């Protein structure tokens, strides 16, 4: 689901408080959604420009321009465009112009000169002449051919709009604190919550509080100097994970339009659409998962890892567990690539409570003091570009424990 660009976002600032302007499922809003959906449902095989022409009367006849454009922005993400031609349209045009420049005036007077140029160009690139016609200007947005549209019901579109609006407001967060009733969610929800935090590479501190409640404090984009925009998008995309639980509350500190304000978010602010969680490790961790068994088949990767309680106010969830199929030795692996060094320093303070068979794989870009790292009861593996599976295996042989001894 895309985020709304700034000119399509709708929010209200009232003193120190901010809130998105959610929409309700009224008859007029449903009618707008249905009219837009009709245009999108009949757009396959047409061009993007044709679709825009069909939408324009709806945009001009309504006073709710920002809402309509927001709906359209979401619906456009459900389009699939024709990408069958592998040749760059710019290269095609250059070749056609080059062929035309070689023709003399007498050739131009012939009726079939264009067909001859198309044939020569098609032969050169091993494509058909019809493909040249179809893709000659396919890099221009309005000329792109639409193959399909992933349909959606009007009420689900309204729900997606509200969730997208909420996610877009999180782009301006400096810190977000979530309080969640873990016992209120379905089985394995806590694990999925941590997996989602890791999937989006978010910087967080977690602690259990009264009864079944947990509190998560997530750093905002200002805490991540290298790629604040990418991190801001990740923070926003994490929001749907909370809808695994029916009882939670969030407080976001925002910097919005030059003002510092607070936004309170609850699960009943609007009806959320069906949630489909994305769960996979970081790119570096994903490479390690693949390469370790290739380098040494005796070692396998599992995701039956524990949530490690590192002291009273911190938890740690590994990316994966490495296990020796012959000896039963296991170790838990955590890969940290893009996190900021001061955040890692805060996390390292809790590693004195580590169970011992935790392997921390760190990027050299963090410029950590390796002498300080040696004080922790864990194995440290560093890498420059990509982690070496041999180094992780060696660390596992050194610190690993038998499965039944954990």
CATH code for position 376: 3.40.1350
> What is the model's pLDDT at position 26?
94
pLDDT at residue 364, as a whole number: 78
Q: What is the domain count for the chain?
A: 3
193 lies in the same domain as 254: yes
Q: Is residue 349 part of a domain?
A: yes
Is 355:305 a contact under the CB 8 Å cutoff?
no
- Residue 191 belongs to some domain of the structure: yes
Task: Please state the separation of Cα 402 from the chain's center in Å.
Answer: 36
The two tokens of residue 342 are 């001061």
Distance CA 249, CA 213 (A): 11
Torsion of Cα atoms, 34 then 35 then 40 then 44, to 10°: 110
Same domain as 95, residue 62: no
Predicted pLDDT of residue 184 = 61
293 and 256 fall within a common domain: no
200 and 234 Cβ atoms separated by less than 8 Å: yes
Q: How far apart are CA 236 and CA 336, in angstroms?
A: 21
Question: Are the C-beta atoms of 275 and 240 separated by less than 8 Å?
Answer: yes
With a CB cutoff of 8 Å and minimum separation 6, the contacts of 197 are 204, 216, 218, 238, 241, 317
- Between β-strands 329-336 and 358-363, what pairing exists: parallel, antiparallel or unpaired? parallel
Number of H helices, E strands in the chain: 14, 17
- Distance (Å, whole) CA 193 – CA 215: 12
Q: In sequence order, what are the beta bridge partners of 402?
A: 329
108 and 169 belong to one structural domain: no
118 half-sphere exposure, CB direction, 13 A CA radius: 13
Q: The whole model's pTM is what? A: 0.71
Mean pLDDT of successive 10-residue stretches along the chain, which has 406 residues: 88 92 94 95 89 90 89 94 73 78 64 74 78 70 86 95 93 91 66 78 79 83 63 86 88 90 93 72 81 94 74 70 92 74 64 74 74 73 88 91 68
Residues 290, 369: one domain? yes
pLDDT at 196: 81
Calculate ∠ Cα 321-188-269, nearest 5°. Answer: 130
Specify whether 185 is located in the same domain as 302: no
Q: Do 233 and 188 share a domain, yes or no?
A: yes
Q: 178 and 97 in one domain?
A: no
3 state SS of 200: coil
pLDDT score for 301: 92
pLDDT at res. 223: 58
Q: Is 101 a domain residue?
A: yes
Sign of the alpha-carbon torsion through 151, 154, 160, 164:
positive
pLDDT (0 to 100) of residue 404: 64
**120 and 155, same domain (yes or no):** no
The answer to whether position 117 is within a domain reads: yes
Same domain for 220 and 366, yes or no, is no
**Residue finishing a domain among 204, 230, 265:** 265
DSSP lists the bridge partners of residue 359 as 333, 379
Does residue 102 share a domain with residue 71? no
Beta strands 401-402 and 329-336 are antiparallel
Domain that holds residue 95: 89-129
Asked whether 160 and 281 are in contact (CB, 8 A), the reply is no
pLDDT at 322: 92
Q: How far apart are CA 8 and CA 23, in angstroms?
A: 14
**Whole-angstrom distance, CA of residue 84 vs CA of residue 312:** 56
- Coil, helix or strand for 300? strand
């Amino acid at each position: 689901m895309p985020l709304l660009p700034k000119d399509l976002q709708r929010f209200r600032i009232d003193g120190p408080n901010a809130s998105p302007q959610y929409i309700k499922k009224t008859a007029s809003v449903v009618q707008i959604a249905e009219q837009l959906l009709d245009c999108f449902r009949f757009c396959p095989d047409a061009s993007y420009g044709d679709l825009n022409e069909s939408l324009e009367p709806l945009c001009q006849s309504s006073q709710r321009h920002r809402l309509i454009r927001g709906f359209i922005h979401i619906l456009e993400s459900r389009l699939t465009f024709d990408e069958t031609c592998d040749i760059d349209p710019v290269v095609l045009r250059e070749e056609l112009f080059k062929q035309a420049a070689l023709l003399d005036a007498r050739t131009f007077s012939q009726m079939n000169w264009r067909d001859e140029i198309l044939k020569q160009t098609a032969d050169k690139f091993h494509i058909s002449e019809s493909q040249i016609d179809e893709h000659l200007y396919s890099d221009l947005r309005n000329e792109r051919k639409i193959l399909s549209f992933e349909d959606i019901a009007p009420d689900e579109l309204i729900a997606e709009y509200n969730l997208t609006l909420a996610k877009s407001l999180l782009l301006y967060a400096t810190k977000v604190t979530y309080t969640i009733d873990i016992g209120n969610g379905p089985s394995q929800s806590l694990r999925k919550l941590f997996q989602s935090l890791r999937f989006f590479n978010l910087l967080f501190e977690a602690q259990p509080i009264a009864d079944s409640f947990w509190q998560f404090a997530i750093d905002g984009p200002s805490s991540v100097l290298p790629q604040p925009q990418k991190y801001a998008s990740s923070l926003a995309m994490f929001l749907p994970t909370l809808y695994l639980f029916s009882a939670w509350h969030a407080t976001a500190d925002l910097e919005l339009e030059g003002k510092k304000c607070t936004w309170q978010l609850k699960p009943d602010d609007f009806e959320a659409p069906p949630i489909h969680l994305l769960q996979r490790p970081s790119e570096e961790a994903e490479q390690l998962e693949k390469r370790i068994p290739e380098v040494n088949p005796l070692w396998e990767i599992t995701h039956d890892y524990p949530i490690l309680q590192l002291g009273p106010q911190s938890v740690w969830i590994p990316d994966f567990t490495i296990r020796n199929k012959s000896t039963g030795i296991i170790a838990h692996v955590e890969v940290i690539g893009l996190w900021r060094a001061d955040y890692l320093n805060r996390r390292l303070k809790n590693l004195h409570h580590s169970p011992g068979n935790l392997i921390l794989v760190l990027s050299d870009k963090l410029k950590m003091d390796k002498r300080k790292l040696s004080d922790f009861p864990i194995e440290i593996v560093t890498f420059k570009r990509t982690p070496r599976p041999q180094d992780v295996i060696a660390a596992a042989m050194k610190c690993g424990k038998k499965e039944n001894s954990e």
